[in-house]
Amino acid sequence: MDWKLFHTTLAPFYHSYVELASFLALFLLVAVSMAVRRQRQRWRQVIQAVSLFVFFFVVSSCLGVFGLLRNAFQGLAWVGRDDLRAFYWLGIAAVVLALTFQFGAVFCGWICPTGTLQEWMGRLSRRRGGKRPVGRDLVALTLGFGVYLGVVYQVFDRRKPMLEDSAVLWASALVGILYMALLFPDREPGLKRLRVLSLLLLLGFTGAGVAVVSPVHFVFSNVQDPASLLSTLVIMGGSLWVPRSWCRYLCPWGLLCSALGRQALRRITVNEGCTRCGRCTRVCETAAIRDGQLDALACTMCLACVDACPEGALEVTLLGSGVPHV
């Protein structure tokens, strides 16, 4: 079923103007919402919903968490040889990274469809309330993984394995990481470093000319893509146990955005009013802040911690100004 609103070519470069305009509009909405503290998280949820609409019904390129990185490298290869083609492949990724220098990793916290789907699933888990026994979580995770392996076998057993289906391997790795996170919660900092390995693996596949599909890719090009669909379901399910587990442990594009976000003009700072109450720790879904200590490499600039702080001790400041931006 073709559900794209812009399926025919409306502009040069295979929709690139349409898609780039959509991304710029989304970032404009983010910039305006970041500047308004009142009901900011409600506005962020609205922008997430709008972004999902854009990805499902407007975007036709593979712009998932793998595709953005792969497209950028493909665009770099065309620079100087065919600049129009280079623009097509590199344009959106370059815009996202450039705006990351301005606003931090807001693509991850406000726009990314993979992150949004994880948040929605995480809310289902929180509504159940209470601290669940680890043993029960491990049993549920094992049963879910067993069903997943059965589906993978049914889908792929009648055809020759393809490297392009490697998204299912990332999904399987995520399940293994979830076991570690549940059994050894004190290993959280070490598990976060696995994003570096994920990035290196993806770069290796890209260099070898293998196009590993992203989670949520199945909605971009209106194609039957079981590997993408299955990996998306695993990532969404993983958030029932660990909020935004994919973002925390395996997302290579998120690692790039958060690394650049450390140099962004807008940053979250902690002033002397912090009482170490732990409220920021409880609302942060990527474990980027603990008792007022911020791990910028894990921050998605969702600003949930800033909005939740009862003392107003967390602020978004402009680099070099020394005064709060909001």
Report how far residue 136's alpha carbon sits from residue 130's, in angstroms, rounded to the nearest whole number.
13
Encode 4-43: b = buried (16+ Cβ within 10 Å), e = exposed.
beeeeeeeebebbebbbebbeebbebbeebbeeeeebbeb
Task: Kindly report which listed range (8-12, 89-93, 176-180, 299-303) carries the lowest average pLDDT score.
Answer: 8-12
| Maximum average pLDDT range among 157-166, 174-183, 287-296 | 174-183
User: Domains along the chain?
Assistant: 16-113 (no CATH), 114-258 (no CATH), 265-318 (3.30.70.20)
Report how far residue 167's alpha carbon sits from residue 231's, in angstroms, rounded to the nearest whole number.
6
Q: At what angle do helices 113-128 and 226-238 cross, to 10 degrees?
A: 40
Give yes or no for residue 57 having a pLDDT over 90: no
Residue-level pLDDT at 153: 82
| 3 state DSSP class of 314 | strand
In order of 19, 68, 90, 145, 257, the CA distances from 72 in angstroms are 15, 6, 5, 33, 13
pLDDT band for position 258 (cuts 50, 70, 90): very high
Any idea what DSSP says for residue 35? T
- Report which residue type is found at 276: R
Report how far residue 184's alpha carbon sits from residue 176's, in angstroms, rounded to the nearest whole number.
12
Give yes or no for residue 95 having a pLDDT over 70: yes
In order of 49, 68, 117, 244, 262, the CA distances from 112 in angstroms are 10, 11, 9, 12, 19
Q: Whole-model pTM?
A: 0.88
> Are 98 and 263 within 8 A, CB to CB?
no
Report how far residue 274's alpha carbon sits from residue 188's, in angstroms, rounded to the nearest whole number.
24
pLDDT band for position 16 (cuts 50, 70, 90): low
Region 90-117: mean pLDDT is: 91
pLDDT band for position 177 (cuts 50, 70, 90): very high
Dump pLDDT digits (tens) for 203-236: 888 888 777 888 887 666 555 678 888 899 999 9
Give yes or no for residue 168 having a pLDDT over 90: no
Residue-level pLDDT at 11: 42
In order of 50, 154, 221, the CA distances from 55 in angstroms are 9, 29, 10
> Are 241 and 250 within 8 A, CB to CB?
no
